[in-house]
């Protein structure tokens, strides 16, 4: 009897589970499928890539937003994607549901920079890297680098005196040298020329066809990458032998108790140079342009910087900048913010949905790319009135939440933002107090590749102020 009762309970439990499973299946499958966001997918495979890149990409995005609203679908670079441009949607993708959207890059870029680099990863490994990178780039980590940054800024500006130069190329040299300083400290100076030679070959292949045959750009790039990793290994070896702590990114990677492999360290160093150099150089180039087009803003920045020089002279302090000085630059800092907004050099970023995701009644299918459109958020009149106008004073009032995100947001947001602002501020201090410059040639074109840049990298001529405006000779009254 007991046996029959047990069997009865067993079978009725199995039956109940089966029934429940069928009911769940019935209700979920009969639920109406969510619609995809509005928009068009263009031609098979090529999608709308041609429309995007045959014109200013911002025209493509702005016309889509106007037509379909802040969420729409498209198909670019061989991938179906959903583009989003409301602050709430961007927060959803980058912050609150970040685990549903993984970072994604073309496989060739991953091979070139190294698949262990921070931006390609998620989860525990990413969190560990992020802690180590942040440790080197927080205000505490970079405070003591101000005087080194200052001497690099001075050398850079001096090297431009009187010459016709491509601002972007020159700023890339400046930001490269700062990147080396923050990664390798003194060792960066020692190996600077070799690191520069290899990195410059590596970057040439960055946008090339990923064909790894002798003689191709991609092949040369991969070889340069190997050589870079060997230089890093050499520096690692000599630091291990000396057993000394270093206050730089390499020191932070080496000090980690859990231990990163040499390969992981090399991938992340190449990755940080890549993330740090062209971004900051583009922003600096735009600042040169905006300041030359807005004389009253240039005047205000110059006065603010001259006041810092004067106060040092009055107190009999050394003429070198300190971290505290860089915090006394409210006008300069608003100019940097406004440049980051107007230029929006990273117009968007890429993520990929790791599962089907519902957002505001729309389906974002698993495997589709999701593009938060930073530039459209920065140029929406709802977030920034008269958005095309360069007006640093708008930052006297803090922007609304999630509307100003030049450094991204959430788990992959930029860990180098403090360093970027510091190196820009220091260069602006010396630029505005000692130099004047004039833009040469056409001034309105913009080139894209991959960052938005003034046409031809903004050719300028730079003069020492006292040379450019010779003081008029005193008129000696005749008797
Ligand atoms: C003005 C200059 C810069 C701008 C506008 C900028 C912007 C950004 C943005 C928007 C992201 C997030 C991308 C995404 O979510 O997909 C990012 C990530 C990153 N940036 Fe920057 N950046 C700048 C300078 C720097 C500097 C100077 C460094 C290094 C010292 C740096 C290191 C990084 C790294 C390592 C990441 C990846 C973080 C992660 O995946 O967790 N950036 N940057």
CA of 271 to the centre of ligand 1 (A): 10
Question: Alpha helices, DSSP H only, in 31-166?
Answer: 49-53, 57-68, 87-91, 107-113, 123-137, 139-142, 146-160
CA-137 nearest atom, ligand 1: 30
Residue 474: band (very low, low, confident or very high) from pLDDT cuts 50, 70, 90: very low
Q: Which residues line ligand 1 (CB under 6 A)?
A: 103, 118-119, 130, 133, 137, 182, 272, 275-276, 279-280, 283, 345-346, 349, 406-408, 412-416, 419-420
Give the residue, by CA position, lying nearest to ligand 1 atom 38. 412
Burial of 192: CB neighbours in 10 Å, binned 0-12, 13-18, 19+ = middle
CA of 234 to the centre of ligand 1 (A): 27
DSSP string, 95-129: IITGGGEEE---HHHHHHH-TTSGGG--HHHHHHH
Say what the pLDDT of residue 113 is.
Answer: 86
Give the residue, by CA position, lying nearest to ligand 1 atom 24. 276
Cα–Cα–Cα angle for 56, 415, 83, rounded to 5 degrees: 35
Return d(Cα 302, Cα 48) in angstroms, integer.
Answer: 46
Structure-model confidence comparison of residues 210 and 293, the more confident one:
293
Say what the pLDDT of residue 189 is.
Answer: 84
CA of 319 to the centre of ligand 1 (A): 32
Say what the pLDDT of residue 475 is.
Answer: 40
pLDDT tens, residue by residue, 336-386: 999 999 999 999 999 999 999 999 999 999 999 999 999 999 999 999 999
Say what the pLDDT of residue 206 is.
Answer: 80
Question: Does 414 belong to an annotated binding site?
Answer: yes
Return d(Cα 9, Cα 30) in angstroms, integer.
Answer: 31
CA of 202 to the centre of ligand 1 (A): 19
Return d(Cα 161, Cα 467) in angstroms, integer.
Answer: 10
Say what the pLDDT of residue 478 is.
Answer: 33
Say what the pLDDT of residue 32 is.
Answer: 60
Return d(Cα 468, Cα 131) in angstroms, integer.
Answer: 47
Tokens 């050589």 correspond to 227
CA of 416 to the centre of ligand 1 (A): 6
Cα–Cα–Cα angle for 162, 165, 166, rounded to 5 degrees: 160
Say what the pLDDT of residue 64 is.
Answer: 93
For a ligand 1 pocket test, name from 105, 184, 407 the mutation site with the most ligand atoms within 8 angstroms of its C-beta. Answer: 407
Domains (ranges, CATH) in the chain? 118-343+383-464 (1.10.630.10)
| 132 contacts: CB under 8 Å, gap ≥ 6 | 249, 252, 253, 256, 260
pLDDT tens, residue by residue, 399-440: 999 999 999 999 999 999 999 999 999 999 999 999 999 999
Say what the pLDDT of residue 450 is.
Answer: 72
Structure-model confidence comparison of residues 421 and 44, the more confident one:
421
pLDDT at 88 over 60: yes
| 76 contacts: CB under 8 Å, gap ≥ 6 | 47, 48, 49, 52
Give the residue, by CA position, lying nearest to ligand 1 atom 36. 414
Residue 109: band (very low, low, confident or very high) from pLDDT cuts 50, 70, 90: confident
């Amino acid at each position: 009897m007991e046996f029959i009762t047990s069997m009865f309970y067993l079978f009725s439990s199995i039956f109940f589970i089966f029934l429940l499973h069928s009911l769940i299946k019935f209700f979920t499958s009969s639920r109406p499928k969510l619609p995809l966001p509005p928009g068009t997918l263009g031609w098979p495979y090529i999608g709308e890539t041609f429309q995007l890149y045959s014109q200013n990409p911002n025209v493509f995005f702005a016309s889509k937003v106007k037509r379909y609203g802040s969420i729409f679908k498209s198909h670019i670079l061989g991938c179906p994607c959903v583009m989003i441009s409301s602050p709430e949607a961007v927060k959803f993708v980058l912050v609150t549901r970040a685990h549903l959207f993984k970072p994604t890059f073309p496989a060739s870029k991953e091979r070139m920079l190294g698949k262990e680099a921070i931006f390609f990863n998620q989860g525990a490994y990413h969190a560990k890297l992020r802690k180590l990178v942040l440790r080197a780039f927080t205000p505490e980590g970079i405070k003591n680098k101000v005087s080194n940054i200052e001497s690099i800024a001075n050398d850079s500006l001096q090297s431009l005196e009187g010459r016709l130069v491509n601002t972007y190329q020159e700023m890339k040299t400046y930001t490269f040298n700062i990147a080396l300083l923050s990664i390798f400290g003194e060792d960066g100076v020692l190996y600077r020329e070799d690191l520069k030679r290899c990195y410059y070959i590596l970057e040439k292949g960055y946008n090339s066809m990923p064909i790894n045959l002798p003689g191709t750009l991609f092949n040369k790039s991969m070889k340069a990458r190997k050589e870079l990793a060997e230089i890093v290994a050499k520096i690692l070896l000599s630091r291990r032998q000396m057993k000394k702590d270093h206050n730089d990114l390499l020191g932070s990677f080496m000090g980690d108790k859990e231990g990163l492999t040499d390969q992981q360290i090399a991938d992340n160093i190449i990755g940080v140079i890549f993330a740090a150099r062209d971004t900051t150089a583009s922003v600096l180039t735009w600042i040169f342009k905006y300041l030359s087009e807005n004389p009253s803003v240039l005047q205000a920045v110059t006065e603010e910087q001259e006041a810092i020089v004067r106060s040092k002279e009055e107190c009999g302090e050394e003429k070198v900048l300190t971290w505290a000085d860089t915090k006394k630059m409210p006008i300069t800092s608003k100019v940097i913010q406004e440049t980051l907004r107007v230029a929006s050099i990273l117009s968007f970023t890429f993520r990929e949905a790791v599962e089907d995701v519902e957002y505001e009644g729309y389906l974002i299918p698993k495997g589709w790319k999701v593009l938060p459109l930073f530039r459209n958020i920065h140029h929406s009149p709802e977030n920034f009135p008269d958005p095309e106008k360069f007006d640093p004073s708008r930052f006297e009032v803090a922007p609304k939440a999630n509307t100003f995100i030049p450094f991204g947001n959430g788990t992959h947001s930029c860990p180098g933002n403090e360093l970027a602002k510091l190196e820009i501020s220091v260069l602006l201090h010396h630029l505005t107090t000692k130099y004047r410059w004039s833009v040469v040639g056409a001034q309105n074109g913009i080139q894209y590749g991959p960052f938005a840049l003034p046409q031809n990298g903004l050719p300028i001529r730079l003069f020492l102020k006292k040379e450019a405006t010779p003081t008029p000779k005193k008129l000696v009254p005749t008797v």
